[in-house]
A and B are shown apart, each in its own frame.
Chain A
Amino acid sequence: MEEQKTVVEQAKEELEKRFSRTLAVAASNLCVHCGLCVDQCHYFVATRDPNISPVAKAEQVRRVVKGEHDWLRRIFPWWTGAKELTEEDLDKWVEAAFRNCSMCQRCVVNCPLGVDTPLVLATARGVLTAVGKAPEILVQLADAAIAREENLEFFKDFYLEQIKELEAELQKKVGDPEARIPVGVEGARFLYVPLSGAHTIMPAAEIFYHAGESWTLSMFEAANYGIFLNDPVRSKRITERIIREAERLKVQEIIITECGHAYAVSRWEAPKWFKDQPWNFRVRSILEVMDEYIQTGRIQVDKSRNPFSVTYHDSCNLGRNSGLFDEPRRILAACVEDFREMTPNRERNYCCGGGGGLVAIPEWQDIRLEAGKPKADQIRATGAEAVVASCDNCRHQLGEINEHYGLNVRVMGMAELVANAIVPNNGKK
């Protein structure tokens, strides 16, 4: 009978499976320990603890990778810093990769050598998931998303009933009994993928109504907790539900709601995962769609309808990871009278502290709120009355740091702001 592998053996096998050229570069001696990444990390800025600086976190994993792949370690293990993996190391990786890193990529932007520290830590996340050491709730949320498709018939009627109620609200709001929240419409131009919850459906439905858009609502939610686990099987499975739905409905575009990681997964990862399948649609964020509507005059907006000062938080996944910097700023220029940039902004913006799945892990709320202090300071310095974020995880975190640090600001989504600013045209193009 084959002897069962130890956790360490399983982890080493998984690490070997994930070993690639890019990981080899990130985990090699390319990092010269210059320390420039240290005070770029919101965790370090908030805590001043060098043990949770990017270089210190990555080094825990790098030493093990070197132990396996750096030939010099055979002669000079003390020189290379190579280390044999132990189960105690894996437990420390949980802290380094899941608790103390939100995968925001700010350290990469500010590294003169471009060392991809989040790639090293994401690899650790994948290894930990494979050996059953990932945070349980992230696994449960990913599995629940998969179960949602497998049990579609069970909840479909409940879901459609909810959408009907939201449709009635929309009709009342726009004053048109013909206004619709369509579901399952074949041949629609857009498949709009919301998150669970009316707040990601209603403002978008109102904007689509005023734009006279041809759209249909997805039966699934955009969130993909598989990506936070760096689990390719779960991530692909979750995304595949939406790809299949888009193919079945023959839509031209998949429009992802205001959700940073869902956009990054669908826009950048999914085309690689499903490269052998026909890809007859493009993927955009609703940010891009709202910007297009405003720039082309498809919806009319009046900035005096948002008569308060607003600052904008660049979600790491939409901004640094996807380059959506100008779209939100054009929208804000059109929809608010008093827009105030926070400093730093765009690719140098600080993470709010809620990324990487952290908002879903209550056990780590203390460090998450502490790591949110640089963001709280940025918001406070603007003096703005409202902070807009185009990512639901960011909005959760901003809501909590708003309360924790007594910022007294209103936390809003961009679609909500645009819907407020719309000059009604009764759904005519």
Chain B
Amino acid sequence: MSETIKADLELNLQGLMCPLPVVKISQAIKNVPVGGVIEATATDPGVMADIPAWAKSTGNEMLKVEKEGKVIRFWVKRLK
């Protein structure tokens, strides 16, 4: 599945707890072009709610979420 989305930036957020995954994504999104994608991995289950909510409120798009054991992998697209 993960091969279908090409990421411009990969981010390892494993071990970070709220609010740091959102803080790091918010910083990193500035480093990809509009239309670019961040692929991130995290272990804090809070990201399952926090990242989609952050993406929605900042006008970006959460493309997909996958779980591989304890690791949550998600893709966020910069829209503006």
Residues of A with C-beta under 8 A to B7: none
Q: Is A195 an interface residue (CB 8 A)?
A: yes
A161→B45 CA distance, assembly (Å): 10
Per the bound structure, the CA–CA distance linking A165 and B17 in Å amounts to 17
Q: Which 3 A-B pairs have CB atoms at the shortest separation, nearest pair first?
A: A196-B46, A196-B18, A143-B57
| A158 B65 Cβ-Cβ under 8 A | yes
A-B contacts, 8 of them at CB < 8 A, read A141-B22, A146-B57, A151-B52, A151-B53, A158-B48, A221-B49, A362-B23, A362-B27
B50 with A196: CB separation less than 8 A: yes
Judged by a CB distance under 8 angstroms, whether A155 is at the interface is yes
Separation of A223 and B49 alpha carbons in the complex (Å): 13
Given contacts A148-B53, A150-B56, 13 further A-B pairs with CB under 8 A are: A140-B22, A140-B54, A141-B23, A143-B57, A144-B53, A147-B54, A151-B52, A151-B53, A162-B45, A162-B48, A196-B47, A221-B46, A361-B23
Are A197 and B17 interface neighbours, CB within 8 A? Answer: yes
Min distance, Cβ A152 to any Cβ of chain B, angstroms = 9
* Chain B proximity of A213: nearest CB distance (Å): 22
A199 contacts B17, CB within 8 Å? yes
Q: Is the pair B49, A148 in contact by a Cβ cutoff of 8 Å?
A: yes
Residues of A within 8 A of B65 (CB): 158
Number of A-B residue pairs with CB-CB distance less than 8 Å in the complex they form: 90
A154 neighbours in B (Cβ, 8 Å): 52, 56
Q: Within B18-71, which residues are at the interface with A (CB < 8 Å)?
A: 18-20, 22-23, 26-27, 44-50, 52-54, 56-58, 65
Q: Which residues of B contact A359 (CB under 8 A)?
A: 19
Question: In the docked arrangement, what's the CA distance between A63 and B49, Å?
Answer: 44
With the chains together, A205 CA to B45 CA distance in Å?
A: 16
In the bound assembly, the distance between CA atoms of A147 and B50 in angstroms comes to: 9
Task: Kindly state the separation between the CA atoms of A158 and B74 in the bound complex, as whole angstroms.
Answer: 12
A277 to B18 alpha-carbon distance, docked (Å): 31
What chain A residues lie within 8 Å of B45 (beta carbons)? 159, 162, 165-166, 196-198
Question: A26 vs B32: C-alpha distance in the bound complex, in angstroms?
Answer: 45
Overall SS of chain B's interface: helix
- Which residues of A sit under 8 angstroms from B53, Cβ to Cβ? 144-145, 147-148, 151, 155
Most chain B beta-carbon contacts within 10 A, residue among A137, A197, A361, A392: A197
Q: Which residues of A contact B26 (CB under 8 A)?
A: 136-137, 140
A residues bordering B, Cβ < 8 Å?
136-137, 140-141, 143-148, 150-151, 154-155, 158-159, 161-162, 165-166, 195-199, 221, 223, 225, 359-362, 392, 396
Which of A151, A196, A392 gathers most chain B CB within 10 Å? Answer: A196
Q: Is the CB of B19 within 8 A of A155?
A: no
B49 contact set on A, CB distance < 8 A: 148, 155, 158-159, 196, 221
Per the bound structure, the CA–CA distance linking A151 and B27 in Å amounts to 23
Contact residues in B for A150 (Cβ distance below 8 Å): 56
Complex Cα distance, B63 from A263, in Å, reads: 34
Within the assembled complex, what's the spacing in Å between the Cα atoms of A195 and B48? Answer: 13
Closest-CB distance, B51 to chain A (whole angstroms): 9
Whether B50 contacts A148 by the Cβ 8 Å rule is yes
Distance in angstroms between the alpha carbons of A159 and B44 in the assembled complex:
12
Point out the residues of chain B lying under 8 angstroms from A148, CB to CB.
49-50, 53
How many angstroms between the C-alpha atoms of A150 and B23 in the bound complex?
Answer: 21
How many Å from the CB of A145 to the closest CB on chain B?
7
A137 / chain B contacts, CB cutoff of 8 Å: 22-23, 26
What's the Cα separation between A325 and B14 when bound, in Å?
Answer: 35
Check if B58 sits within 8 Å of A143, measured CB to CB: yes
Please indicate which of the listed interface residues B20, B49, B50 has the most CB atoms of chain A within 10 Å of its own CB.
B49
Chain A residues whose CB sits within 8 angstroms of the CB of B18 once the complex forms: 195-197, 221, 223, 392
Are B44 and A198 within 8 A (Cβ)? yes
- The residue in B26, B27, B50, B52 that gathers the most chain A C-beta atoms within 10 A of its C-beta is B50
